Chain A
Amino acid sequence: DQQVKQNSPSLSVQEGRISILNCDYTNSMFDYFLWYKKYPAEGPTFLISISSIKDKNEDGRFTVFLNKSAKHLSLHIVPSQPGDSAVYFCAASAKEYGNKLVFGAGTILRVKS
């Protein structure tokens, strides 16, 4: 039962353009959503998060949008840089579940220079 889904296994974007990574969830109890970035041979690194009471959070080149009615969130990276090439994981948590993270399968982002 995949409660968090990232339906695009990979995404290729030209340097300087926008990267949009998508994530869908099924459990309406989730109240906090996070994006992690992972390079090979390293652990996931926290990127940006959003609480369910908000619909947008911005941090520099990274913006996360949350659409609760559609149970959908997206990560926008503008402008994309070659160093952004990594695997991006969407994760969700709920206080009721002890804030454990439920991850999607990840999307491989390749930014071409």
Chain B
Amino acid sequence: DAGVTQSPTHLIKTRGQQVTLRCSPKSGHDTVSWYQQALGQGPQFIFQYYEEEERQRGNFPDRFSGHQFPNYSSELNVNALLLGDSALYLCASRKKGAPGYTFGSGTRLTVV
């Protein structure tokens, strides 16, 4: 039973560029959340998708956007990359209403 899968695992981008990260949730899960984890900190909530709509959003600028597809997979897009966007981006999924989340291994984004 595959858990949460994320791609790519590592990515290097130049300041000002745009990036798309992808996530496939665990089988049976319909809700996907994205988190940003900077070095030495805990994961910070970016947003959550359910039924292809953004349901909740954390304190992140509009440069961060997302999408959920009918098969529950999701994308995270970041425009106009800044050096400070360098972080580990984690995708987590759950079944709607359940409090526990399953996390993927993350995408390590480096902005140079």
Contact = CB atoms under 8 A, between A and B. Distances in A.
A46 B42 contact: no
A100 B102 contact: no
Contact of A98 (B4, B55, B104): B55
B107 to A, nearest CB: 10
B41 interface: yes
A25 interface: no
A43 B44 contact: no
Interface in B29-62: 33, 35, 40-45, 48, 55-56, 58
Interface in B85-112: 90, 92, 94, 97-106
Contact of A101 (B4, B97, B101, B106): B101
Given A100-B56, A100-B58, A49 B100 contact: yes
Interface in A61-113: 89, 91, 93, 97-106
A43 B42 contact: no
Contact of B42 (A34, A41, A45, A89): A89
Given A89-B42, A100-B48, A104-B42, A41 B99 contact: no
**9 closest residue pairs by CB, A with B:** A103-B42, A43-B103, A98-B56, A32-B99, A43-B105, A44-B103, A100-B45, A105-B42, A103-B43
A102 B20 CA distance: 24
A102 B45 CA distance: 7
Q: What size tier do the contact residues of chain A reach?
A: 20 to 34
Contacts of A104: 42
B26 to A, nearest CB: 11
Contact of A99 (B41, B44, B90, B99): B99
Nearest to A41: B105
Contacts of B56: 97-98, 100
